[in-house]
């Protein structure tokens, strides 16, 4: 007996809807948990002051500055590198065994534990290249960590741009780069942005790799050779060494708000760019 | 086009500010995350008294501390191990503080004290239920630190004869052990005594409480040293910092914040 | 002019791609160079198949950790992939675009929460729940899979939403015009068309799940045993590396890097099988 498609649809919607609800509940729970413990601690003084007494008192401003600087640096390094690599793999080479191997390699690297990246960064950037514990060492290491995500999501976004767009562009006499720059990338932008946002999230939340490379100094950085502490590392140290649970959650709350703002800002900017083009 | 110029400007700005880089006499300490907060506080005080000094404190663990001291990445390595490994032999080690180790259980647990022998049997898995040591009928959940942790090595060396039960849970920091024990009525663990709070309860060991006085009087036995490691001939600034930490003021800061003075 | 700038761009992009890829290659070489000597000295069979991990006594068997990593990852994917794809489908096809454009950034928000926070929530909320309702110490294989499953949701949902939205409207309209319901269209037209992106999201998420350290260490209990049930504590390969790296020197340290090599191989095998499965399903159509 054939099932009425309308009924299967109703059943499907129910199943999918409950799955989504379950997901959203878990996610909301986590955000509420952190905010509930952390919001009471947030105050103007907390956000702009320096830590005192081992982090039990005072604020987290150096950590906020550290997070901002480190994230900006790693995205500045990873985004052009990742997008460029993806463009090269999709538009400038033919699909071959080599590209499949490269893609496979990028996927595998996405699975390397952060502590290995941290050790790699410590040995190569901090010790051998003598950068010391610094923003630069941390930025390079984090860039390597988020590179696979950006490469793969950009690749998928570019592949999703319809062939006809390219054909029209070439038939109008555009070169490959002109096509990429003016036609493909703008259309792939939402997908690229997702990859970058996921990368930003990863960079902001990373602890082990950051501690080994950017260090955990509490002082305000004055150059990219200075060590910094990020909000995630601050939470990590406060919570795990048992110094101050409230300040730890306050830091986490500040971090969540920061990530949310960055995400919303990025999407707003992207929507404006798309609106301007159409 | 505009995006590209923005990138160029930003990278240029970063490169130019790099000119400041590593300057004057900056001392870096690296290593034990347990001692890191104390080192930061001591550094803060030292820098207020000596405005020319610039001190940075990093974490990474005792092994990183030893490596950094050996490679010169840091001028002082911090290690909270009971016995320093062979690589550290060429470094000069100074004990600057000691740390008491408290054995903790959940506040709901009615047990108040244990003997060292009972402790040994619990961690070996021989005693599996709280009722064997005067508590209610509940399985004991043993929580320990990771192999190589300074706290664990000290614990096992002082209690002696521990062959950790295969069923023991392992957590990797003081704070997580505290949370685990606080959230499990049948758990037992150990952590730095400076971290005791109302969420967990410390048991008496052989009738002795885990307090600073009892430790300094050598009545409470679970204690471990904190080492500062330097190259054989540290520079004058480094020696000055170490002297400060060993001074009355430095030791008082250490004691006020939960560690035990070196002497 | 377009010709010269075209040549420049081509050279530049080639350089960019190769530098990115060689950096990634460098890391692979790093892990292998640090870990391989140990494997040759200690013996691969003993390393992989012995269940005794006792660095102090010179015993380095990682079999329980390999098994645990596979189980935890499998569990995380079993939770994260269906929930993620289902959520992505629901949010793109059955929910107004305006609502979805608010929920998507909110979900990506969760990718930015430090794994230590997830870990603490696991210790304080999830483990007691499991202990009180299902038994065992709470810190377990199950707790690890659940936390990891939740952590990979943003990756799967975000990227899958993008892939589904990228399917041309003409596909959907054509199907609906033929009288299919929205669900039939989704199942038989949209999802297959979005397959490549969804697969990519799952593979990336799997990588994240395997490589996650902090949260896993805090909620799985880290006992070195082969798990008999999902409620028992386990130790994964990543946990093994991260737990002891801070204090390991000499042979112990090399053994940990060798664990990293094994992990790398596990990742390669899992990724390879995943893309093989995807390719098979494509060929069948």
Q: At residue A84, does pLDDT exceed 70?
A: yes
* CA dihedral over C8, C14, C17, C18, signed as positive or negative: negative
Q: In whole angstroms, what is the distance from residue B47 CA to residue B25 CA? A: 12
Chain-chain contact of A212 with B21 (C-beta, under 8 angstroms): no
- The answer to whether position B152 is within a domain reads yes
Q: Look at A223 and B64 and tell me if their CB atoms are within 8 Å.
A: no
B63: nearest CB among C128, C233, C247: C247
| B89 plus B105 within the same structural domain | no
Angle at CA of residue A109, ends A103 and A113, nearest 5°:
160
Range of lowest pLDDT (A42-46, A274-278, C197-201): A274-278
- Its pTM stands at 0.83
Contact C100, C91 (CB under 8 A): yes
Which pLDDT score, from 0 to 100, does residue A1 have? 53
On whether residue B147 sits in a domain, the answer given is: yes
Asked whether residue B111 falls in the same domain as residue B150, the answer is: yes
Task: Identify which of B132, B95, B98, B58 has the alpha carbon closest to the alpha carbon of residue B223.
Answer: B98
So what's the pLDDT on residue A136? 92
**Tens-place pLDDT, residues C151-168:** 999 989 998 998 898 888
pLDDT at C2: 60
* Segments in B30-170 forming alpha helices (H): 36-49, 62-71, 116-124, 150-159
Res. B106: pLDDT tops 90: yes
pLDDT band at C77 (very low <50, low <70, confident <90, very high): very high
ipTM of the shown complex = 0.80
| CA distance, residue A109 to nearest chain B CA (Å) | 23
Cβ contact A19–C150 (<8 Å): no
Q: Which domain holds residue B56?
A: 24-98+225-261
Find chain B residues with C-beta within 8 A of A141's C-beta: none
Under an 8 A CB cutoff, do B166 and C224 touch?
Answer: yes
C244 and C215 Cβ atoms separated by less than 8 Å: no
How far is A112 from C155, CA to CA, in rounded Å?
A: 16
Is A84 part of the contact surface with chain B (CB cutoff 8 Å)? no
By Cβ distance, the residue of B149, B170, B184 closest to C222 is B170
Instruction: Give the tokens for residue C80.
Output: 């994260």
> Which residues on adjacent β-strands are paired with residue B208?
B205
Contacts of A168 (CB under 8 A, 6+ apart): none
Using the Cα atoms of residue A29, residue A30, residue A35 and residue A37 in order, give the sign of their dihedral: positive
Pairing status of strand B113-114 against strand B204-205: parallel
Same domain (yes/no): B115, B88 = no
For residues A223-259, one letter each, b for 16 or more C-beta atoms within 10 angstroms of the residue's C-beta and e for the rest, the string is bbbbbbbbbbbbbbbbbbbbbbbebbbbbbbbbbbbb
**Distance separating alpha carbons of residues A57 and B24, to the nearest angstrom:** 30
Identify the DSSP state of A123: I
Q: Is residue B28 part of a domain?
A: yes
Phi and psi torsions of A230, nearest 5°? -95, 170
C222 close contact with B: CB closer than 8 A: yes
Helix (H/G/I), strand (E/B), else coil: A276: helix
- B18 domain residue, yes or no: no
- Same domain? For B72 and B137 the reply is no
Number of domains observed in the structure of chain B: 2
How far is A243 from A260, CA to CA, in rounded Å?
Answer: 27
CATH number for the domain harbouring residue B144: 3.40.190.10
Whether residues B168 and B67 share a domain: the answer is no
* B107 in Cβ contact with B201 (< 8 Å): yes
Determine the distance in angstroms separating the CA of A52 from the nearest CA of chain C, rounded to an integer. Answer: 23
Tokens of C164: 């589904």
Distance CA B203, CA B114 (A): 7
> pLDDT for A104-151, tens place per residue?
888 888 878 888 888 888 888 888 888 888 899 999 999 999 998 899
Cα gap A81→B2, rounded to integer Å: 18
Ramachandran assignment for B29, one of left (phi > 0), alpha (psi -120 to 50 degrees), beta (any other): beta
Give backbone dihedrals phi and psi of C230, rounded to 5 degrees, phi first: -70, -10
Q: How many residues in chain A?
A: 278
Average pLDDT over residues B223-242: 86
Instruction: Tell me if A205 and C86 make a contact (CB, 8 A cut-off).
Output: no
Whether B136 and B178 share a structural domain:
yes
Q: Do A133 and B56 touch (CB under 8 A)?
A: yes
Does residue B5 lie in a domain region? no
Which residue in B has a C-alpha nearest to residue A211's C-alpha? B60
Q: What is the number of H-type helices and E-type strands within chain B?
A: 9, 12
For B104, residues 6+ apart whose C-beta sits below 8 A from its C-beta are B177, B178, B181, B188, B189, B190, B191, B196, B200, B201, B202, B203
Beta partners for B30? Answer: B77
Q: Computed from CA positions of residues C60, C63, C64, C66, in that sequence, does the dihedral angle turn out positive or negative?
A: positive
Domain match, B35 and B112 both:
no
B29 belongs to a structural domain: yes
Are B138 and B173 contained in the same domain?
yes
Task: Indicate whether B200 belongs to any domain.
Answer: yes
> Which chain C residues are Cβ-neighbours of B63 within 8 angstroms?
245-249, 253
Query: Which residues share a beta bridge with C221?
Result: C234
Identify the band that residue C79 occupies on the pLDDT scale cut at 50, 70 and 90: very high
Over residues A48-52, the mean pLDDT reads 80
Look at C208 and A111 and tell me if their CB atoms are within 8 Å.
yes
Instruction: State how beta strands B141-144 and B169-170 pair.
Output: parallel
Q: Are residues B148 and B236 in the same domain?
A: no
A19 contacts on C by Cβ (under 8 Å):
82-83, 86-87, 90
Residues B64, B83: one domain? yes
Q: Are residues B104 and B201 in the same domain?
A: yes
Determine the pLDDT at residue C282.
60
**B16 pLDDT tier (thresholds 50, 70, 90):** very low
Return the number of other C-beta atoms located less than 10 Å from residue C184's C-beta: 18
Residues B106 and B135: beta-carbon distance below 8 Å: no
Are C121 and A33 within 8 A, CB to CB? Answer: yes
The minimal CB distance from B20 to the residues A52, A222, A241 is found for A222
Token match 């800002």: residue? A265
Residue C283 has a pLDDT of 58
Which pLDDT score, from 0 to 100, does residue B17 have? 43
- C100-155, pLDDT tens digit by residue? 888 888 888 788 788 888 988 998 899 999 998 998 888 999 999 999 999 999 98
Rounded CA separation A212/A118 (Å):
5
Contact A227, C65 (CB under 8 A): no
Work out the number of other CB atoms within 10 angstroms of the CB of residue C58.
Answer: 10
Q: Do residue B229 and residue B257 come from a single domain? A: yes
Residue A128 per-residue DSSP state: I
Q: Cβ separation of C128 and B176 shorter than 8 Å? A: no
Q: B72 in a domain, yes or no?
A: yes
The Cα B140–Cα B121 span in angstroms is 11
Q: Are C108 and A263 in contact (CB under 8 A)?
A: yes
């Amino acid at each position: 007996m054939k099932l009425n498609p309308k009924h299967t649809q109703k059943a499907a919607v129910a199943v999918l809807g409950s799955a989504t609800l379950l997901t959203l509940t878990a996610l909301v729970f986590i955000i509420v948990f952190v905010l509930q413990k952390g919001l009471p601690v947030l105050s103007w003084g907390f956000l702009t002051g320096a830590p005192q007494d081992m982090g039990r008192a005072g604020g987290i401003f150096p950590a906020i500055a550290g997070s901002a600087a480190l994230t900006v640096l790693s995205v500045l390094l990873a985004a052009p590198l990742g997008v460029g690599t993806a463009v090269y793999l999709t538009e400038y080479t033919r699909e071959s065994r080599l590209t499949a191997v490269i893609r496979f390699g990028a996927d595998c690297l996405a699975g390397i534990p952060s502590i290995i990246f941290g050790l790699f960064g410590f040995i190569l950037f901090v010790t051998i290249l003598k950068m010391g514990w610094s923003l630069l060492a941390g930025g390079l290491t984090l860039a390597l960590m988020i590179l696979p995500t950006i490469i793969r999501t950009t690749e998928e976004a570019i592949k999703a741009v319809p062939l006809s767009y390219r054909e029209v562009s070439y038939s109008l006499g555009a070169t490959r780069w002109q096509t990429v720059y003016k036609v493909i990338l703008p259309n792939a932008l939402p997908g690229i942005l997702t990859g970058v946002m996921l990368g930003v999230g990863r960079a902001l939340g990373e602890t082990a790799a950051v501690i080994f490379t950017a260090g955990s100094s509490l002082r305000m950085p004055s150059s990219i050779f200075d060590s910094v502490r990020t909000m995630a590392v601050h939470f990590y140290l406060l919570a795990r060494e048992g110094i101050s649970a409230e300040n730890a959650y306050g830091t986490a709350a500040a971090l969540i708000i920061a990530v949310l703002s960055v995400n919303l800002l990025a999407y707003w900017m992207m929507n404006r760019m798309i609106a301007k083009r159409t | 086009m505009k995006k590209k110029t923005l990138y160029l400007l930003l990278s240029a700005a970063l490169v130019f500010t790099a000119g400041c880089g590593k300057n004057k006499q900056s001392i870096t300490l690296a290593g034990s995350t347990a001692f890191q907060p104390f080192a930061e506080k001591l550094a803060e005080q030292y820098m207020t008294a000596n405005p020319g000094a610039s001190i940075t404190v990093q974490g990474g663990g005792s092994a990183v501390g030893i490596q950094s001291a050996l490679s010169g990445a840091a001028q002082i390595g911090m290690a909270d191990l009971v016995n320093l490994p062979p690589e550290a032999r060429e470094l000069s080690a100074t004990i600057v503080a000691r740390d008491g180790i408290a054995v903790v259980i959940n506040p709901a647990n009615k047990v108040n004290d244990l003997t060292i022998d009972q402790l040994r049997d619990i961690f070996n898995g021989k005693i599996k239920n709280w009722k064997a040591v005067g508590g209610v009928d509940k399985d004991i959940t043993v929580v320990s630190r990771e192999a190589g942790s300074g706290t664990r090595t000290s614990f096992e060396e002082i209690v002696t004869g521990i062959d950790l039960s295969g069923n023991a849970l392992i957590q990797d920091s003081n704070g997580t052990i505290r949370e685990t024990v606080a959230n499990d009525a049948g758990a037992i663990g150990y952590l730095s005594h400076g971290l005791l709070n109302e969420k967990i309860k410390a048991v008496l060991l052989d009738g002795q409480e885990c307090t600073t006085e009892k430790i300094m009087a050598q009545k409470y036995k679970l204690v471990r040293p904190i080492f500062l490691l330097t190259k054989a001939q540290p520079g004058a600034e480094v020696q000055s910092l170490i002297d400060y930490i060993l001074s009355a003021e430095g030791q008082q800061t250490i004691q006020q914040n939960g560690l035990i003075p070196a002497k | 002019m377009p010709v010269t700038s075209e040549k420049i761009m081509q050279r530049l992009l080639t350089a960019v791609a190769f530098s990115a890829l060689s950096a990634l290659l460098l890391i692979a070489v790093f892990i292998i160079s640090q870990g391989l000597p140990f494997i040759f000295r200690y013996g691969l069979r003993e390393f992989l198949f012995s269940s005794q991990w006792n660095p102090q006594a010179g015993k380095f068997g990682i079999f329980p950790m390999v098994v645990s990593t596979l189980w935890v990852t499998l569990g995380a994917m079993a939770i994260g992939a269906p929930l993620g794809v289902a959520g992505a489908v629901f949010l793109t096809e059955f929910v107004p675009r305006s609502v979805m454009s608010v929920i998507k950034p909110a979900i990506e928000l969760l990718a930015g929460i430090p794994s230590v926070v997830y870990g603490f929530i696991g210790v304080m909320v999830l483990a007691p729940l499991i202990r009180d309702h299902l038994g065992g110490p709470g810190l377990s294989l199950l707790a690890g899979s659940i936390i990891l499953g939740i952590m990979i949701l943003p990756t799967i949902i975000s990227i899958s939403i993008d892939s589904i939205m990228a399917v041309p409207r003409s596909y959907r309209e054509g199907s609906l015009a033929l009288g299919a319901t929205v669900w039939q269209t989704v199942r038989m037209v949209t999802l297959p068309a979005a397959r490549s992106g969804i697969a990519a999201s799952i593979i990336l998420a799997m990588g994240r799940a395997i490589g996650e350290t902090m949260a896993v260490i805090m909620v799985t209990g880290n006992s070195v045993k082969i798990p008999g049930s999902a409620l028992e504590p386990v130790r994964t390969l990543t946990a093994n590396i991260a737990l002891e790296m801070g204090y390991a020197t000499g042979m112990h340290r090399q053994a940990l890097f060798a664990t990293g090599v094994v992990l790398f191989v596990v990742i390669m095998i899992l990724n390879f099988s995943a893309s093989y499965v995807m390719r098979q399903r494509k060929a069948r159509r």
